[in-house]
Structure 1
């Protein structure tokens, strides 16, 4: 039976799991639709093994595929994409926090990924420099850091209510912002999906702007002091 959460392409790709590229947003969306967004964001923000997944590009591409101007991929429903994005990102962050609260730093210590450890250092710097509320929000926009900061916040004993409130704020701004940006661009530019790769690269750079601006402000305040 057809389901709006899985476009027709899923039936063909389901026969060949190797045809799905977990690092390619278009491949993931073509295979699993909106449900794939929830699963990927949950893994990226809640499980340390998901640090390599393409959260930013997935959200933006999903927004593009909600418009009629995108012809090279599946057509997705905007409301379902927004709901799946929010559920995956918010549930993942909360689970990651609880895992860190129980497992502590031992989870990171057992990993051999240099990229993951580098992300952990950046996450600690964010927490120390900006405090828990700003750090939880800003981390959403930084790949790898948004994976590591949630369990790290749990391990450091960040207040549950504080973390929950601000991870919801950051999660909604991040997911809705990127999806709606993709939707707006796809609605205004015909056949915009032809230029998907350079657009996604720009989106990733733009997603880092909140962190860069906050770093600039903190340096100015430090010089003033």
Structure 2
């Protein structure tokens, strides 16, 4: 367990990443987080930001640096897109087994039915937004496969979402990578990225609970009136 925690902490260290696989390690992490169920704990957003920092600190000329940025973004985005495809097909071909199981605290069939309705209404937007939400981006393609979201539609938004997610965060890291304050306060920057990414989920959960409570209270009042 100690070695595992040490591995996770090292993933926020650009020098350690460069010394232990560099781009290949980044590709594996992004693929695992988006395509393997147990990869939900991997820090995808910070990893992408750090990838940009690594590129910015390479001893390259302006043109070579820009080309390297595009090359890395293309490869990492491809890894994330491929990961989502794997998640989708796993959900499609193994999801029926989950639906046959009894409900547990971790998985309830009701969640799938809700997700199915959500994807029917705003499936494309859901796939894109999920890219920017930790944990959610791991489960979103699997659920899309379980509810049998149209594959062409999923593929289109998967590619768009992957390019936007990787392109924006890697480019941000690249633009700020040579900033001394960012280099000396990288831990705080990463915490800020994680907070910014998870805040929408937390807000949605809080507001959703409030709406549920209000509706429940309204229903009780209506019953009392009758």
Structure 1 length as normaliser, TM-score? 0.70
Matched, 1:163 2:154: yes
Matched, 1:198 2:188: yes
Aligned pair in 2 of structure 1 residues 106, 154: CA closer, same or farther (>3 Å)?
A: same
- The structural deviation recorded for 1:134 is 0.9
Matched, 1:78 2:47: no
Q: CA RMSD in A?
A: 3.9
2:83 is aligned to 92
Aligned pair in 2 of structure 1 residues 201, 117: CA closer, same or farther (>3 Å)?
A: farther
In the alignment, which of 123, 130, 134 is matched to residue 132 of structure 1?
A: 123
* Structure with greater helix percent: 2
Aligned pair in 2 of structure 1 residues 40, 85: CA closer, same or farther (>3 Å)?
A: same
Structure 2 length as normaliser, TM-score? 0.70
Look at both structures and tell me which one has the larger radius of gyration over its CA atoms.
Answer: 2
Q: Could you tell me how far apart the structure 1 residues matched to 2:91 and 2:132 are?
A: 20
- The structural deviation recorded for 1:191 is 6.1
Count of aligned pairs: 192
Aligned pair in 2 of structure 1 residues 47, 155: CA closer, same or farther (>3 Å)?
A: same
Q: Deviations over 1:149-206 (max 9, x none)?
A: 101100101000010000111111111100000111114x136322111001112233
